[in-house]
Structure 1
């Protein structure tokens, strides 16, 4: 069986990512155990581990059932002893090899939640680098700031922009078209953005996931990563009827507030 990364749909717009290596797999952020169990039964692969990015229930709700079904399955997640079921607590810079030949580095990316981490593999499944970033970076957007502050979130997103352009970005929700609709307001002269909108709309019309994205695509089309751009800064200032902010962090804060109230 070849290596692959497969989206397991959950709830209305979540993706639980299954990372398959041979006859084993990891699952990322299993908010619901039922579709995971169905996937494992259909594919006849063994659950070798679970990756958790943060504590929200739509990312952790299936843990108890999965651990009852697969006792002893390792669960990798944030430090803090606040997520029941985590067996290997991870902090910034930690490395793990949950499957032979697949090594992840942990990046702390607080903002959406204070405990949020991301998993980065510089060498993917015989392909480009991989990033599993939960609800920090979305295709065309970013997560709401529930527990951190704009400066914290902007710093976290900036860490992700330093990854190689070809890095495959696997976020946890199918929010892409709504995000790109907002992006068109914030960055209306970005031709790359409107090309992307057509591409992603075509995928959704065929009921295909818009994910993964890449860091390079996000740098070109995601306004939350383009707060240094004059056009984005101007649109944000015009929306709030104020002068252009002097820092990218302040522009980001106003952009996130605009999106929250859109």
Structure 2
């Protein structure tokens, strides 16, 4: 299999998972154009589309891809705001898309109906998580609660270390600026930041990261760590009441943060 991140819109990635027979699973096509161009130049054809949530920058090209490739199956969460006639999927289901078996994980928080797709193919483990987990960050709480998002991130953090995290946006460096304020003495975070800076200077995506990297560097997955708790305690002026309150304060802090 071959994994490719197609830039779209201002900072989105459309993920393409190609097989050896010339087919490809397309994840979160916010635009059809990048997929059509890549298929034409790369000699592949979409065999399935996976949608993680209803936001237009993740689903905007799905209907056009279905029109170009009639019969193209689309898998999406149960949400009427996704109207491209998909097969609806929910937590705990296993689906077959483009010859690959994906486990569906409900990850509410960014939206109430958000799902992630996990592929565990022996030596290869891939997570397509939309706007729930970012490299060094997480999505804003547009619809769900802090408790929901913390629970969703905890489920994703429990996946195997080597799982490659394929999220929806190129936010790593902006997230790193915040993470380093929270944990300025974290050596793994410093290394990841330097790595990401070099990647962007070379005009390369900073993604995918891995679950192991995120557990070591991402403050939103480290709500039980003393340094993160201490940073939140300083902001609150008291000890936080458990990991969910640590997460909630981190998210509020990040919402108003500017480097």
Report the TM range for the smaller structure's normalisation.
over 0.9
- Which whole-Å CA distance do the structure 2 matches of 1:99 and 1:149 have between them? 34
Match of 1:259 in 2: 254
1:195 aligns with 2:191: yes
Match of 1:229 in 2: 225
Q: Paired residues, what number?
A: 256
Match of 1:56 in 2: 55
CA contact (8 A) 1:92 1:108 kept: yes
1:158-181 per-residue CA deviation (whole Å, 9 max, x = no partner) reads 000110111111001000000011
CA contact (8 A) 1:77 1:86 kept: no
SS at match of 1:119: strand
Q: Pairwise mapping of residues 133-172 of structure 1 onto structure 2 (< 5 A)?
A: 133-172=129-168
1:109 aligns with 2:107: yes
* Change in 2 beyond 3 A, CA 1:139/1:113: same
Structure 1: which 4+ aligned runs deviate by more than 3 Å? none
1:249 aligns with 2:244: yes
* Change in 2 beyond 3 A, CA 1:72/1:219: same
Contiguous gaps of at least 5 residues in structure 2: none
SS at match of 2:241: coil
User: In the TM superposition, what is the alpha-carbon distance from 1:80 to its structure 2 partner?
Assistant: 3.2
- Which whole-Å CA distance do the structure 1 matches of 2:239 and 2:206 have between them? 33
Q: Pairwise mapping of residues 198-217 of structure 1 onto structure 2 (< 5 A)?
A: 198-217=194-213
Match of 1:33 in 2: 32
SS at match of 1:31: coil
SS at match of 2:154: helix
User: In the TM superposition, what is the alpha-carbon distance from 1:244 to its structure 2 partner?
Assistant: 2.0
User: In the TM superposition, what is the alpha-carbon distance from 1:241 to its structure 2 partner?
Assistant: 4.4
1:23-58 per-residue CA deviation (whole Å, 9 max, x = no partner) reads 000110000111111111111211101000000000
CA contact (8 A) 1:76 1:86 kept: no
CA contact (8 A) 2:54 2:79 kept: no
When normalised by structure 2's length, the TM-score is 0.96
SS at match of 2:124: coil
Among 118, 133, 139, which residue is 1:120 paired with? 118
Could you say what the CA RMSD is over the residues aligned between the two structures, in angstroms?
1.0
- Which whole-Å CA distance do the structure 2 matches of 1:33 and 1:128 have between them? 27
CA contact (8 A) 2:18 2:25 kept: yes
28-37 or 81-90, which moves further after superposition? 81-90
CA contact (8 A) 2:76 2:89 kept: yes
- Which whole-Å CA distance do the structure 1 matches of 2:155 and 2:245 have between them? 17
1:200-247 per-residue CA deviation (whole Å, 9 max, x = no partner) reads 111111011110111000000000000101111111222x24112020
Match of 2:215 in 1: 219
